[in-house]
Amino acid sequence: MKGVCYDAAAYMRYLYNAKISYEQLTSISAQNWLPLFNFSKGRKWDGQSSLPGGKAIGFCRVAGMQFFHAAIAVGGTEIRAINGGLLGAGWLHPVDLRKVLNQKNPDGSFRYDGTTIFVYISDL
């Protein structure tokens, strides 16, 4: 089930009255949500600030600028997600990004799972 995290994030944004239509919700799936989330045009998370509740959060590998996971901010620096390992493996358990991404680099990226990533907040 590759990309189901994007489906979950899109559904939550739909429930938050984001600009997602019912037709989009029922016809777009997995990584095909990336153009709508447009994470790279959003704000980069600084590793400390509270994440706006209900916003979609995107995780991107610096090498190749490839997005690999999405989540929903639920308050403070916590997210909920599915299928994302330490970045949210199950909806029932929130993840505090400050604890998981505690190795910040000078360029604003983070060390995670043997790679370097950026964290973006979608404007959708």
pLDDT tens, position by position, 60-79: 999 999 999 999 999 999 99
Residue 123 contacts residue 41 (beta carbons within 8 Å): yes
* 3-state SS, residue 73: strand
Question: What's the pLDDT score for residue 87?
Answer: 98
25, containing H or E segment:
helix 22-27
Say whether pLDDT at 1 is over 90: no
Give tens-digit pLDDT for 19-61. 999 999 999 999 999 999 999 999 999 999 999 999 999 999 9
Q: What percent of the chain has pLDDT over 70?
A: 99
Q: CA of 106: how far to CAs of 10, 52, 59, 64, 70, in Å?
A: 31, 23, 18, 19, 23
pTM, two decimals, is: 0.96
